[in-house]
Amino acid sequence: MHNGYFKSLKEVVHFYNTRDVLPKCETDAVGEKVSCWPAAENPSNVNHRQLGKLGLTQQEETALVTFLGTLTDGYFVLHH
């Protein structure tokens, strides 16, 4: 997002769903963004009350990404 780490809306939704559930991994580790997450760049910015453990299934993540892809203001088209 702000630093270009996420390349798709799917990655963003998966992160918000699993950040506090999946183990920490080294940057560029096998499975990064799928089965583990690197440590936060700035841990003081991490919100532990609202995000990181949403409890969505993979199917629900996909449905959410699909729904978000339908939202538009007419100026931006999401390609995923």
Q: What pLDDT, in 10s, does the model give residues 40-62?
A: 888 887 777 778 889 999 999 99
Residue tagged 């769903």 (tokens):
17
Residue tagged 């939704």 (tokens):
13
Give this prediction's pTM. Answer: 0.78
Collapsed DSSP state (helix, strand, coil) of residue 14: helix
Residue tagged 């996420």 (tokens):
6
Please report which confidence band the pLDDT of residue 77 belongs to, taking 50, 70 and 90 as the band edges. low
